[in-house]
Amino acid sequence: EVTLLQEKTSKLQSEVDRFYSLLSADALMGWQEVDRVFREYVVEKRCFVYRIEVRTGVFPDSETDCEVYLQLKGTGGSTERELLFNPSALDRTFARGSMRCFELSTDVELDELLEARVWMGSTGEQASWMLEDLVVWNTRTGVTHSFPCGRILRHQGSTPVVLSGTRLQQEHCDYLVSLSFSERGAPPPESLSVRLFGALEGGGVDIALDASAAVGEG
């Protein structure tokens, strides 16, 4: 058991070192921001989570391997400037025609989203990027906003590209949920929470289908 624990600790330290190495190479992110990102996304869990879909254009030379940063602004506040990355894969490449999914966490509820600010770094070899759009879901409320872009972005130092958001209409559907319990004859739990997840339009990340669904007994 001690040997197994040592191996797991060594592997975790290796991943942490790789994480720091990747982030510290980014032109727009200093060491203080690297430490903050590590604490918030690897060590701590924050209260409000927004799931983001990023679509890259399908035309030649649409993709980029440069770092991309995002900040969301709403009527309730704004997030920090965040580096978009996949914590499990540490992969930041935005390939031609791809749809990449991310999670952005914050301590405050942004409420109605107004704008998304996008920055491009300069550490990669493909310095331009065709961003089609961003789609942002509030995982607590299920509210969805779209941020169309449809143009080529390039590194502009500390100056962001500002995209305006549009709230998408939510469609409500009825679902029949059947539950079974493994212990026969055992009383059901006093309280039970059920969350359904699915993919919007057949693709993308899992989202809460209806965060305010009414549940009845049947």
Residues 134-149 pLDDT 10s: 999 998 888 999 999 9
- What tens digit of pLDDT does each residue of 74-97 get? 999 999 888 886 555 556 578 899
The number of distinct structural domains making up the chain is 1
In a domain, 186, yes or no: no
In a domain, 17, yes or no: no
CB 66 within 8 A of CB 120: yes
Longest dimension (CA), the chain: 66
In a domain, 189, yes or no: no
- Token match 């080529």: residue? 152
In a domain, 195, yes or no: no
Is pLDDT of 192 > 50? yes
Supply the pLDDT for residue 67: 84
Angstrom distance (rounded) from CA 50 to CA 110: 10
Angstrom distance (rounded) from CA 42 to CA 82: 14
Supply the pLDDT for residue 183: 63
Supply the pLDDT for residue 185: 62
Most confident of 3-12, 41-50, 66-75, 101-110: 66-75
The more confident residue out of 116 and 170 is 116
- Number of continuous H segments (helices) and E segments (strands) in the chain: 2, 12
In a domain, 127, yes or no: yes
Q: What is the pTM of this model?
A: 0.60
Supply the pLDDT for residue 38: 61
- What tens digit of pLDDT does each residue of 88-134 get? 555 657 889 999 888 888 888 899 999 999 998 887 788 899 999 99
Supply the pLDDT for residue 162: 97
Give me the DSSP letters along 9-70. Answer: HHHHHHHHHHHHHHHHT-TT--HHHHHHHHIIIII---SEEEEEEEEE--STT--B-S-EEE
Angstrom distance (rounded) from CA 21 to CA 34: 10
In a domain, 206, yes or no: no
In a domain, 100, yes or no: yes
In a domain, 23, yes or no: no
Supply the pLDDT for residue 144: 94
| CATH code for the domain in which residue 124 is found | 2.60.60.20
CB 42 within 8 A of CB 16: yes
Amino acid at 77: G
Which domain covers residue 56, as residue numbers? 47-167
Query: Within 10 Å of residue 9's Cβ, how many Cβ atoms?
Result: 10
